[in-house]
Structure 1
Amino acid sequence: MDFTPTEEQAAARELAAQIFGDLSTPERLAANGTGTDAELWKALGSSGLIGAVRDIGLLGLVLLLEEQGRTTAQVPFAAGCVYGLLAVDTHGTDEQRRRLLPGFEDGSAVATGAFPAAAGVRAEGSALTGTVPWVPWLRDATHVLVADAAHRLWMVRAADARIEDVELTAPWSAGRLVLDGTPAERIGGDHAYERVLADARTAFAGVQAGVCSGSLARAVEYTSVREQFGKPLAAKQAVLLRAADAYMDTEAIRVTSYEAAWRRDELLGYREAALTAAWWAAEAGTRVVHAGQHLHGGMGADLDHPVHRHFLWGRQIAAYLGCGSEVLSELGELIAVSAEGGAR
């Protein structure tokens, strides 16, 4: 395995870091509330970063999402790329690609996903009925990739569905999706759902790696300048050990998300790798954002402090697409099935 970025991936990551760093400031985040930062989203589209994902692959996307996570930038970048751009590019028909991809590439269309598959959503012909309790970024989406109870994928126009506001732990502009004979078009065939879900788990693990990096960086900066009894907090062994554990957890999230993305780009089996990355993102991610907040002492309890956003994002990602125990159970079942197949 070689996770060294290509020139194109490195250039895209550098541009993403610049855009997120310039436009995703604590002041702008506070002003935007739970809504998408329209100016930032426009900048990502006009810079070509969204469309570039088709060329730089899932590993390139993970690198970009790390930069988003560092600043908790308030845009549906992961959802739009995974459930819109990559899903249609990989599983759509030629006609669907021609019709849908231009909007997803320039950001004029925004996709999100009703994932994992909702047992209550059923298809009758090309119409969907059912309710998905919460869908991230739904209030800002133009399209929703819906997974029905049979694990088939359908693209729905948000304007054709009923959307009710829902507040999540993280300010992800979420909503409840209500479908009542809503027209939909099929995307992909057999195994498309499993692949898109693996893509999503890998992508959001990449976001989590960035969230944890940002939380830890803030904690290191704070403990280096905050003094107690005439010495920086960072000089205390307990603080050093807590930060070191958080660093190792963050690296584990990063390397497992890289591996899953690399395997996907190399056309290798990657569902097990994606589940592994998702488990680290859930379990280790929770530990890191708790550590980041704890190392800020009393300041960490301030709901307006920037580190609190990392805490909220980290907790939300840990629960999205399956919590740690659910993902671990699914991984065990997948390994068992693979072993049985090998035995035969």
Structure 2
Amino acid sequence: MDFSLSDDQRAIAEMADSVFRDYCTDERMREFDLDDQPFMLPLWQTCIETGLHALAIPEAFGGSGMGITDLYCVLKAQGAGLGLVPLWQHQLAAACLAEHAADSQGELVEQAAAGSLLLSLSLQGLAASRGVKLQLVGQGDQLQLQGQANAVDVAAQADRLLLVADSSDGPRLVLLDPRSEGVELLPGIANHGLAVADVRCSNVPIDAVQLLPVEALAWLEQRAIAAVAAMQLGVSGEQLRRTVEYVNQREQFGRAIGTFQAVQMSMADCHIAIESLRTSLYQLCYRLDSGLPSDSEAFATRYLCTEAAHLIGHKTQHVHGGIGVDLTYPIHRFLYWSRHLSLVLGGSAATLERLGDWLANNDKLGWKYDLDENKNLC
């Protein structure tokens, strides 16, 4: 596997790294903690000015038309900087509309690419123990949306939401205006600081153009998994880097605690978890950009992402000792982010169950089945 990036991708990664590191300093993060803002609005404006908000939106609609690997470069930098902006939610929602509802929602996608309109999405119901709580119910010749979607990112600030609703054809994506009659928003804050809101729907009329085709859900979910995993890779990588720096400076019993075998083994476990996630994520990005089936790769990446979030988040927090619980010290933010990202698309147990179900129903797995000379085996 070739892990190298193209020259263009390296340039994108360097620009994104510069944007997030310059803005998301520890001092500014402390200021945001005390500020009553839904997300980092000046940083979001910078993302619009630099085009980072529209990398994955097709060129035909005003975006950059780049792939998931290019988006990975940006989201990894966002995770390392802990930049609280709805970057992946906005452009993956727009890209999904461009791919599956271009005829009816093309103008909306163009506005999203221009930055004049904010989109968000939520897929949490797919992995919730109670299942999808939004329902599409037929009332005569009209469909109505009933139920609730919990903790939707920036729902109160977004102009449109892509939500999962259960229907007679199974789960479907529905495009919802959060200001429609019958929609109630209950605002809150996620544990890493981003504004969220529960979206409650009571007999909300849904037109046919708001309902995306069945295949749009899997298309979006696999790319959302790649996006969240890229952010987690950035969060965990920076968390581990800071921790290694700390244990090499912090002394106990006359020497740096980084020389203790138990600390070294903990850091080695974290490094292995990061590299496992990186390898699986690279494969997923490659397959998505190549138009190859990615069901099992997405679930495997999601599982490794949730496991890395938990392991690295807690091991790095632990070796910081008492200073790790001091909220004026920045390391706790990485744990909050890891906790949020590990649950946003379902935890490790839910993901492993879905992967097991997929494997039980598919007896062909692996790269060899994608090769031309083996097409007759499929």
* TM-score between the two structures when normalised by the length of structure 2: 0.85
Which whole-Å CA distance do the structure 1 matches of 2:224 and 2:97 have between them?
14
What is the aligned partner in structure 2 of residue 92 from structure 1?
A: 101
What is the aligned partner in structure 1 of residue 38 from structure 2?
A: 35
Give the gaps of 5 or more residues in structure 2: 58-64, 126-130, 370-376
Partner residue of 1:120 out of 133, 137, 158: 133
Q: Shift in Å at residue 126 of structure 1?
A: 4.7
Q: Which has the larger radius of gyration?
A: 2
Summarize deviations over 1:198-223 as a string: whole Å, max 9, x none. Answer: 11112101111111011111101111
Residue identity in the other structure for 2:152: V
Partner residue of 1:179 out of 176, 184, 201: 201
* Aligned partner of residue 75 in structure 1, secondary structure: coil
Residues 149 and 163 of structure 2 are in contact (CA less than 8 Å); yes or no, is this contact kept in structure 1? no
Summarize deviations over 1:112-144 as a string: whole Å, max 9, x none. Answer: 213134632122435422111221232332211
Q: Shift in Å at residue 169 of structure 1?
A: 2.5
Summarize deviations over 1:133-166 as a string: whole Å, max 9, x none. Answer: 2212323322110111131111112222321113
Which whole-Å CA distance do the structure 2 matches of 1:304 and 1:111 have between them?
33
Q: Quick check: 72-81 or 225-234, which moved more?
A: 225-234
1:310 and 2:330 equivalent? no
Residue identity in the other structure for 2:133: G
What is the aligned partner in structure 2 of residue 228 from structure 1?
A: 252
* TM-score between the two structures when normalised by the length of structure 1: 0.93
- Alpha-carbon spacing, 1:194–1:116, altered in 2? closer, same or farther (3 Å): farther
Give the gaps of 5 or more residues in structure 1: none
Which whole-Å CA distance do the structure 2 matches of 1:108 and 1:306 have between them?
33
What is the aligned partner in structure 2 of residue 48 from structure 1?
A: 51
Which whole-Å CA distance do the structure 1 matches of 2:211 and 2:82 have between them?
30
Structure in which a larger fraction of residues adopt helix = 1
Q: Shift in Å at residue 11 of structure 1?
A: 1.4
Identity %: 26
Q: Quick check: 322-331 or 108-117, which moved more?
A: 108-117
Residues 275 and 331 of structure 1 are in contact (CA less than 8 Å); yes or no, is this contact kept in structure 2? yes
Residues 88 and 187 of structure 1 are in contact (CA less than 8 Å); yes or no, is this contact kept in structure 2? no
Would you identify which runs of 4 or more consecutive aligned residues in structure 1 move more than 3 Å? 124-127, 340-344
Residue identity in the other structure for 1:7: D
- What do you get for the CA RMSD once the two structures are aligned? 2.1
Partner residue of 1:263 out of 287, 292, 300: 287
Residues 170 and 316 of structure 1 are in contact (CA less than 8 Å); yes or no, is this contact kept in structure 2? yes
The equivalences for 1:1-344 within 5 A come to: 1-33=1-33, 35-54=38-57, 55-82=65-92, 84-97=93-106, 99-117=107-125, 119-123=132-136, 124=138, 125-149=142-166, 150-160=170-180, 161-184=183-206, 185-339=209-363
Residue identity in the other structure for 1:146: L
Q: Shift in Å at residue 53 of structure 1?
A: 2.5
Residues 55 and 91 of structure 2 are in contact (CA less than 8 Å); yes or no, is this contact kept in structure 1? no
